[in-house]
Amino acid sequence: METGTELDQVVSGNFKLSTQTDGSLKGRGDVAMTPGRIVSTEDPELYVETGQAGFGFDIYDDDLRGGVLDIPFPGLGQVAAELEILDVADEELTDIDGSIDIDLEDVGPLIALFPVVDSADGALRADLNIGGTVDDPLISGDFALEKGALTYLPTGLKLDEIELRSELQKNGEVELTGSFRAGDGRAEIRTRADHARTAATGLELILRGDNLTVIDVPDVTAVADTDLRVNFDGKTLDLNGNITFPHARIRPANIGGTRVYESQDVIIIAGELPDEPMDADPDTTIEFSGMVVVVLGDDVIVDLEVTEVQVTGSTEFTWLGGPVPNAVGRYDVDGNILAFGQRLEITEGSVRFDDVPADDPYLRIRAEREIFGNTQVRQAGVLVAGNLSRPTIEAYTNPITTEERALTLLVTGSDFDYERGVGAVDFGTYIAPRIYASYGIGLFDNENVVRIRYDLKRGFGIAGTSGGRESGVDLSYRFEN
């Protein structure tokens, strides 16, 4: 079995075995282990020192009948266990009597060897009794974790001041209560596991707390108020309760994705790709059930390269067997978005779930820009509508014009009227302190225009225009901000 650790202790001992009249073995063994280290194979800097350890056991009728284990951890504490299997005629009804004592001042070094989390601290005390029979052993007693802490770097989760108390009953029930701090918030936790009736109730976890920092990484920070109940019976994970995010910031540094394709000259002759996913074992597939309401408060901001929006609202997520829940609810979106090279203000934005899979909501986002200096069109914008899997994008104006003209106004802010064939691009500069010259190129014909304007005083001027179709002189007035 691969444990991810290496041991450098030396094991020695004495064994005494004899054969009884019926041919079965009877004997005693005493094993000693020298002080040494348990070292992580992935990081040799992670290790735990052990002291002089011992293990003794008795064999009777070819079966292990008893044993004693004592492993000291210098500076941390020790783990000791004792087990006795009484000799009775019926093997399945053979009684067990034993105990397990754990007294560790700091579980951190041991947790580091098996990194479920990135770091952990705390004092662990356990006083457990082993009873029942060989066929149905029972563990009772209590254990406690004091002044605990843990860190999980992938989400930035940091829990402090962890205090847990647990009691194991002889009937198989487990009661655990405690609390912990996450950021500025504190939560209460309670679990119950009825091992005697696992198929009926299983493991139950209740988590309640306010202002909990649940994610804290450079790209995402989130604070949550939780009231959750989780049940697991070995086959079904049942989730129920409420999660409210009063504050969150989502700023992904890189939201792009690139697909990787095989080269055109690659020929697969036979077999499967090495990363071909294996079919899930239907016997180990976990089903999901329950309903969780997720509420986004007034301070949830999504800040991307192309948009900065505030998201508010509430949605009910209901699991009906699969991992992707159905959703009913709505989130409103307010802010601005970068589209067609322009920063547009969102005037209508929603992500709606009409009892659909949570990964395919209905989008309706309308974003606009003001069009100045145009007597016909006041705003130009873009409308994104439809399901997330197949949205449609449409340019529009207010009042309504053609989509071609709407797209032009949206991109340039200039009134290039495709229907009327009106529009030009001008290039000009001051050739003297009060004389401005420009050259215009028509967008819908071959008309080129030369224009000279003389500024009489601030705002007022006389402009002369010369083109292929017409020429003239105009009196002009300019508004300046």
pLDDT tens-digit readout, 10-34: 989 888 888 888 877 788 888 899 9
CA quadruple 100, 106, 111, 116: dihedral, nearest 10: 100
pLDDT at 87 over 60: no
- Four-residue CA torsion sign, 317, 322, 324, 330: negative
Q: What pLDDT is stored for residue 402 in this prediction? A: 82
| Residue 120 backbone class (left: φ over 0; alpha: ψ -120 to 50; beta: rest) | beta
Q: Rounded distance, CA 66 to CA 79, Å?
A: 17
Q: What pLDDT is stored for residue 202 in this prediction? A: 62
**Does an H or E element contain 114, and which?**
none
Q: Rounded distance, CA 239 to CA 291, Å?
A: 6
441-461 average pLDDT score: 63
Provide Rg for the chain, Cα atoms: 37
Which tens digit of pLDDT belongs to each residue from 203-230? 778 889 999 998 898 889 999 999 998 8
Q: Rounded distance, CA 59 to CA 87, Å?
A: 11
* Residue 383 per-residue DSSP state: E
The most confident of the ranges 53-62, 371-380, 394-403 is 394-403
Angle (CA) 80 81 84, round 5°: 155
Which tens digit of pLDDT belongs to each residue from 305-337? 778 899 999 999 999 988 899 999 999 999 998
**Does an H or E element contain 407, and which?**
helix 403-412
Q: What pLDDT is stored for residue 453 in this prediction? A: 74
Q: Rounded distance, CA 350 to CA 388, Å?
A: 12
- Four-residue CA torsion sign, 207, 212, 214, 220: positive
Tell how far CA 271 is from the center of its chain.
35
CA distance readout (Å), 82 to 79, 107, 278: 11, 22, 43
To the nearest whole percent, how much of the chain has pLDDT over 70? 76
Q: Are the C-beta atoms of residues 104 and 73 closer than 8 Å to each other?
A: yes
Strand ranges (DSSP E) for 62-202? Answer: 63-73, 77-85, 96-104, 119-132, 137-152, 157-168, 173-182, 185-194
Q: Are the C-beta atoms of residues 127 and 101 closer than 8 Å to each other?
A: yes
> Which of these ranges, 4-8, 320-324, 384-388, has the smallest mean pLDDT?
4-8
Q: Which two tokens stand for residue 18?
A: 């004899």
79-93 average pLDDT score: 70
Cross-strand partners of 435: 432, 454
Q: What pLDDT is stored for residue 345 in this prediction? A: 92
Q: What pLDDT is stored for residue 176 in this prediction? A: 84
Angle (CA) 215 221 227, round 5°: 55
Which residues are CB-contacts of 51 (< 8 A; sequence separation ≥ 6)? Answer: 35, 71, 72, 73, 74
In one letter, which amino acid is 381?
Answer: G
Higher pLDDT, 428 or 351: 351
Residue from 89, 55, 88, 50 nearest 72 by CA: 50
CA distance readout (Å), 284 to 172, 201, 400: 24, 19, 57
Strands 236-250 and 287-303: parallel
Q: What pLDDT is stored for residue 419 in this prediction? A: 47
The most confident of the ranges 108-112, 145-149, 233-237 is 145-149
244-272 average pLDDT score: 62
Q: Rounded distance, CA 9 to CA 73, Å?
A: 13
Q: Are the C-beta atoms of residues 61 and 98 closer than 8 Å to each other?
A: no
What does the buried/exposed string (b/e) look like for 86-123 if buried means 16 or more CB atoms within 10 Å of the residue's CB? Answer: eeeeeeeebebebebbbebebbbbbbbbeeebeebbbb
- Four-residue CA torsion sign, 339, 343, 345, 350: positive
CA distance readout (Å), 64 to 58, 83, 354, 439: 6, 10, 62, 102
